[in-house]
């Protein structure tokens, strides 16, 4: 499989500058893109199998039924999946597409993790040898305009990964996507919906502590870029629903006063006992939010596919 690489143009210096700026801000933050090194991606795969983590359990059957509705539209189509991860979602979708249509499809997994593209690419190649495959190792926030296509495209953004962006970033992202979309292109956007707060908080505070390990892994990734000496065991995993922003927030709380150093940094990073590093937002939506986002991005909301409980939605958007 060919893998186009846009990540090597992102220099280590700019990665370090970004991390340092986030750790110097008040409150301290770490960008959630840094969760996904190899062990972070593996931990996320484990999260998707947890009993408490409900989103895939609802999105997967929705993808099955939606694929059947899309069937006729998928001939001679390029499927571009943003944040494709282990590609398990697109597999569910493709299983519903007849082989004679799949022969005409080229699938483009786009992910910041090259390992994830390579591993899932091998699985897909075996499973659907008749389908074209073309990996894109890129940051969908930075490189969206580099994703070219002559044929009609179906952009897929599953798992409610859009929810990990702030409202402003999500709008900017959708506007940029709109600007690269052509008349016949479509977007299928997975969005986790507002529901009982206990259900949401349980999903991010699982009993096996896998989400806590996923959260703390961001410190290991930070250490590998900045040569800092963060000890993940010195932090507590904190996850709660922030109603004002309609989002689940993940933080890492310092268990003690600490001074984090690096040979690359002139000044050390000081944390007080109880201080939190904000690591992730996971927005939960209403149908009102979905309409507002489509409108603000200049996209037409063609359909919302949802489950009986309205826990998860697949929003279909096209150009106006």
Q: Using the rule CB under 6 A, is 36 a contact of ligand AVI? A: no
Choose between 41 and 228: whose C-beta lies nearer to ligand SAH: 41
- The site map against ligand AVI for 178-217 (x = CB under 6 A) is --------------------------x------x--x---
Q: How far is the CB of 211 from ligand AVI (least distance, A)?
A: 5
Choose between 101 and 159: whose C-beta lies nearer to ligand SAH: 159
With b meaning 16 or more CB within 10 Å and e meaning fewer, what string describes 26-44?
eebbbbbbbbbbeebbbbb
Residue 135 near residue 118 (C-beta atoms within 8 A): yes
Q: How far is the CB of 109 from ligand SAH (least distance, A)?
A: 9
Terminal C-alpha separation, the chain: 34
Choose between 28 and 89: whose C-beta lies nearer to ligand SAH: 89
Q: How far is the CB of 76 from ligand AVI (least distance, A)?
A: 30
Q: What phi and psi, each to the nearest 5 degrees, are found at residue 189?
A: -115, 115
Which residue from 34, 44, 214, 311 is in contact with ligand SAH, where contact means CB under 6 A? 44
| Nearest residue to the partner ligand SAH, using Cβ | 159
Which residue from 39, 48, 205, 303 is in contact with ligand SAH, where contact means CB under 6 A? 48
Q: Using the rule CB under 6 A, is 163 a contact of ligand AVI? A: yes
Per DSSP, which regions of the chain are E strands?
A: 2-5, 28-29, 77-82, 106-111, 132-137, 152-157, 186-192, 235-242, 247-254, 258-260, 269-271, 276-283, 299-306, 312-319
141 binding partner (options ligand SAH, ligand AVI, none; Cβ < 5 to 8 Å by kind): ligand SAH
Q: Which stretch binds ligand SAH (CB under 6 A): 107-115, 120-128, 246-254, 272-280?
A: 107-115
By CB under 6 A, the count of residues binding ligand AVI is 11
Say how far apart CA 299 and CA 307 lie, in whole Å.
23
For residue 206, how many other CB atoms are within 10 A of its CB?
A: 19
Choose between 137 and 281: whose C-beta lies nearer to ligand AVI: 281
Nearest by Cα to 314 from 59, 57, 93, 83: 59
Residue 180 near residue 142 (C-beta atoms within 8 A): no
For residue 303, how many other CB atoms are within 10 A of its CB?
A: 15
Residue 290 near residue 191 (C-beta atoms within 8 A): yes
Angstrom distances, CA of residue 244 to CA of 218, 238, 249 = 26, 18, 11
Q: What is the dihedral of CA 310, 314, 315, 319, to 10 degrees?
A: -170
Q: Which stretch binds ligand SAH (CB under 6 A): 77-85, 180-188, 206-214, 215-223?
A: 77-85
Nearest by Cα to 132 from 121, 140, 143, 120: 121
Q: How far is the CB of 209 from ligand SAH (least distance, A)?
A: 19
Choose between 21 and 264: whose C-beta lies nearer to ligand SAH: 21
282 binding partner (options ligand SAH, ligand AVI, none; Cβ < 5 to 8 Å by kind): ligand AVI
Q: Give the three-class secondary structure for 91.
A: helix
Q: Using the rule CB under 6 A, is 313 a contact of ligand SAH? A: no
Q: Which residues of this chain interact with ligand AVI, rule CB under 6 A?
A: 47, 159-161, 163-164, 204, 211, 214, 280, 282
Q: Which residues of this chain interact with ligand SAH, rule CB under 6 A?
A: 33, 36, 41, 44, 48, 83-85, 89, 111-113, 116, 139-141, 158-159, 161
């Amino acid at each position: 499989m060919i893998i186009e690489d846009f990540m090597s143009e992102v220099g280590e210096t700019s990665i370090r500058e970004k991390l340092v700026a986030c750790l110097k801000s008040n409150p301290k933050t770490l960008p959630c893109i840094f969760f996904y090194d190899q062990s972070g991606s593996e931990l996320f795969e484990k999260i998707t199998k947890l009993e408490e983590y409900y989103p895939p359990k609802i999105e997967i059957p929705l993808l099955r039924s939606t694929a059947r509705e899309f069937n006729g539209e998928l001939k001679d189509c390029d499927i571009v999946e943003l944040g494709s991860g282990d590609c398990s979602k697109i597999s569910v979708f493709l299983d519903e597409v007849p082989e004679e249509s799949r022969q005409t499809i080229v699938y483009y997994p786009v992910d910041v993790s090259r390992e994830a593209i390579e591993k899932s690419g091998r699985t897909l190649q075996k499973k659907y040898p008749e389908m074209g495959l073309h990996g894109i190792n890129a940051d969908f926030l930075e490189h969206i305009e580099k994703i070219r296509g002559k044929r009609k495209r179906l952009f897929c953004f599953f798992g409610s990964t859009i929810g990990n962006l702030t409202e402003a970033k999500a709008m900017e992202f959708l506007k940029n996507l709109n600007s690269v979309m052509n008349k016949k292109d479509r977007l299928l956007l997975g969005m986790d919906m507002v529901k009982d707060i206990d259900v949401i908080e349980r999903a991010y505070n699982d009993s096996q502590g896998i989400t806590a390990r996923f959260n703390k892994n961001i410190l290991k990734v930070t250490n590998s870029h900045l040569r800092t000496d963060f000890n993940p065991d010195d932090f507590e995993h904190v996850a709660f629903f922030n109603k004002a922003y309609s989002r689940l927030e993940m933080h890492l709380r310092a268990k003690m006063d600490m001074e984090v150093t690096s040979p690359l940094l002139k000044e050390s990073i000081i944390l007080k006992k109880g201080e939190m590093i904000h690591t992730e937002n996971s927005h939960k939506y209403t149908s009102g939010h979905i309409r507002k986002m489509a409108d603000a991005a200049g996209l037409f909301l063609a359909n919302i596919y949802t489950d009986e409980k309205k826990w998860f939605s697949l929003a279909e958007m096209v150009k106006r």
